[in-house]
Structure 1
Amino acid sequence: MEAAQNAANAVPGARSVPGRRIPVPGTVSPEFQAAIAAPYRVPAWNADPGNAAEWKALVARLAAQTAAPLPALRERLGVVSTPEVIGGVKAWIIAPKVVPERNRHRLLIHIHGGGYVYNPGEAGTVEAVLMAAFGGFTVISFDYRMPPDAPYPAAMDDAMAVWKAALGLQPAENMAVFGTSTGGGMTLALMLRAKREGVPLPAAIAPGTPWSDLTETGDSYKANEWLDNVLVSYDGVLTRAARLYAAGRDLRDPQLSPIYGDLRGLPPTILTTGTRDLFLSNTVRTHRKLRQAGVEASLQVFEGMSHAQYLFDPDAPETREVFTEIAGFLDKHLGSAAKTP
């Protein structure tokens, strides 16, 4: 192919690459090889419901599938989930059966992912269960409102309500906020909103592969297109979900795409992504912008990982490693003293 590729790339411009098959890397665990080799997640990635009723039916069906194995998973991992209402928002308090002493007065707020449309109810608590199990933290995971019934700013209003209520439970220096994909983008947007409103910020945040830019800006949106077996292509459900959520607003609004906000003064941050992640550039650009803003920021990139794939198999060594790394980062930054009466 040498001559053909030299000719195709003989002038400056877009890179032309040949069609090719990408093997499953042998540099990851057998469990993770299975995840990398898996087919595309149809219809999650390319869904195109024609109206609100079809959206709701699809979302409910996928949520039921995700939630069904959760009781068994919690039991196996030694985690307890208790329904609550926090700040007027439906939520769950998820914690290990025995909370380590150092974490007794620490509290994490979890914002679930799902493209602003997926994972309502208990389906959105998977990541919180894994963090409670592998990190030993008590976690509040909440069920924010979503389109098509409740576009922006409903989700952010709910996130702010939960965060303000949490400040009455533990001091800000004992808390962190985390979430993956949409949850990562909302974590960053929540920090910007809290900063603007003069509300205390947590001691640290952990946005996993954040949807920090809804405008399809970034190299990996094309470089990893069709390679990521979770999101697959931005021209699937992501484009439709972004339009539903934004409801006509400018996608560069920092409350929709926090990459365009002023990140100065944000808490220490740990970000997670993978080499096949469609949102690799989102994560890398966020990391660089945080560093440029003077924020302590750590970036962990996993071999062969597609978008949010560390949430799929609790038995994969990579899953434990992701949450152990995040827990270690949080442990370094969170206080542990009891709240003063």
Structure 2
Amino acid sequence: MRSLTIGNPRRMALHRRLVLTAALAAPTLARAEPAQAPRPATPLPAPLAEAARALPARRLPVPDTVSPALQRLIAGPYPPGWNAIPADAAGWRALQAVSAAAVEPHLPALRAALRVQVERSRIGGVPVFTVTPETLPPENRDRLLLHLHGGGYVLFPGESGAGEAMLMAAHGGFRCISVDYRMPPDHPFPAALEDTLAVWRTLCAQHDPRRMAIFGSSAGGGLTLATVLRARGERLPLPAAIAPGTPWVDLLGAGDTRQANAYVDNVLVADTGWVSGAARLYAAGRDPAEPLLSPINGDFAGFPPAILTSGTRDLLLSDTVRTHRKLRRAGVAAELQVFEGQSHAQFITPGVPETAEAFEEIGRFLAQHLL
């Protein structure tokens, strides 16, 4: 498969900012409350709590074991506003608008560079974007991928959320349908899940589910797993395979790398940032440990084959690893690819060689399991 090349450094830099088109982001918001800590985990017994490891202060070098393009991403500063949590619903709406405005002006160039066509429509009453590669391989003409975008369940409305689907279409050679699901603050849980199920139910009536897969990263990865849980509960057909990228599966923030990679990840940075506010906003008073909110607490028995993707500096690496191990313990065929040096969802960056590698790997996995 080809990798994306963008002509000049300025355009390349702009396109790199689209890494969060389908994943969590950290845009700036002028008016915001100080960052609040997420709900604390159950305290450890005293002997274990005292065993917490004290680390010396150090500078973390950029690894020379990745491509020059990825080195520039790794060397980047923390996103401005990563720890700004909106004070009210109006603030979240403003943040949502900022996320779309940061992406939308660059979409025409991205579509052209990736050689994909994007069509807006509705499926099951839900707005969607159908992304089709310029050249659709014959073996994929009857196959279809359902894409669920990231953004903490609150960012990237409209086509601004379809960037990951464009990358998958271009590098994987699949037709993808990206769901523009409803989001907080106006539509908290379970609105996103209901919209996704409405689209999946309609697609199953029109297509052979053995020829379909579901994928998405970050919140989209968590929603992918929640969709399978809900579909299984409603006795709907399940997809032939799934590809949750760095899935946000634990709204309570458990997992080793939520601490070990704090301030190492230069995308999400730390759980004390805006992502903790997004978790509370999405749950809207529900217990965040519920499996449809935090799929890591669900039963993965009978799940379709899965491929998961993360990076060594990803704050959600533990979410990804824990999900992979739980799928394996449930007898599910599951693969895990972890990219050197990458922070949260940086495998979704146009113009970086590792991006083509990631989506080609995912595409090969899905092709093996789709009829």
Give 1:65 deviation, angstroms.
Answer: 0.9
Give 1:153 deviation, angstroms.
Answer: 0.6
Structure 2 equivalent of residue 324 of structure 1: 360
Give 1:55 deviation, angstroms.
Answer: 1.2
TM-score by length of 2: 0.86
Partners in 1 of 2:338 and 2:76 — Cα distance?
20
For each residue in 1:126-182, what CA deviation from the matched residue of structure 2 results, as whole angstroms up to 9, or x when unmatched? 100000000010000011111100010101000100111111232100000000000
Partners in 1 of 2:275 and 2:113 — Cα distance?
33
Structure 2 equivalent of residue 6 of structure 1: none
Among 189, 203, 214, the residue aligned to 1:152: 189
Structure 2 equivalent of residue 33 of structure 1: 71
Partners in 1 of 2:206 and 2:68 — Cα distance?
42
SS, match of residue 69 in structure 1: helix
Structure 2 equivalent of residue 23 of structure 1: 61
Structure 2 equivalent of residue 339 of structure 1: none
Give 1:57 deviation, angstroms.
Answer: 1.3
Give 1:98 deviation, angstroms.
Answer: 2.1
Partners in 1 of 2:86 and 2:351 — Cα distance?
34
For each residue in 1:268-326, what CA deviation from the matched residue of structure 2 results, as whole angstroms up to 9, or x when unmatched? 000000000000000000000000000000000000000000112x2211000000000
Partners in 2 of 1:12 and 1:245 — Cα distance?
34
For each residue in 1:211-248, what CA deviation from the matched residue of structure 2 results, as whole angstroms up to 9, or x when unmatched? 01111100000000000000001111111001000011
1:57 partner letter: A
Give 1:48 deviation, angstroms.
Answer: 1.4
Give 1:12 deviation, angstroms.
Answer: 5.9
SS, match of residue 119 in structure 2: strand
SS, match of residue 68 in structure 1: helix
For each residue in 1:75-96, what CA deviation from the matched residue of structure 2 results, as whole angstroms up to 9, or x when unmatched? 1111000001011111110010
Give ranges in structure 1 of 5+ residues lacking alignment: 1-10, 336-341
Q: Output aligned runs, 1:160-171, within 5 Å.
A: 160-171=197-208
Q: Please state if 1:299 is matched with 2:306.
A: no
Q: Please state if 1:89 is matched with 2:112.
A: no
Partners in 2 of 1:54 and 1:131 — Cα distance?
32
TM-score by length of 1: 0.93
SS, match of residue 162 in structure 2: helix
Partners in 1 of 2:272 and 2:200 — Cα distance?
33
Give 1:47 deviation, angstroms.
Answer: 2.5
For each residue in 1:238-261, what CA deviation from the matched residue of structure 2 results, as whole angstroms up to 9, or x when unmatched? 110010000111111000000000
- Range with greater deviation from structure 2 (163-172 or 123-132): 163-172
Q: Where in structure 1 do 4 or more consecutive aligned residues deviate above 3 Å?
A: none
1:263 partner letter: F
Structure 1 equivalent of residue 309 of structure 2: 272
1:186 partner letter: L
Structure 2 equivalent of residue 13 of structure 1: 51
1:331 partner letter: A
Partners in 1 of 2:113 and 2:321 — Cα distance?
34
Aligned length: 325
Give ranges in structure 2 of 5+ residues lacking alignment: 1-48
Q: Output aligned runs, 1:1-341, within 5 Å.
A: 13-43=51-81, 45-312=82-349, 314-335=350-371
- The alignment yields a C-alpha RMSD, in angstroms, of 1.4
Partners in 1 of 2:102 and 2:76 — Cα distance?
17
Percent of aligned pairs with the same amino acid: 58
- Range with greater deviation from structure 2 (164-173 or 121-130): 164-173
Partners in 2 of 1:301 and 1:79 — Cα distance?
27
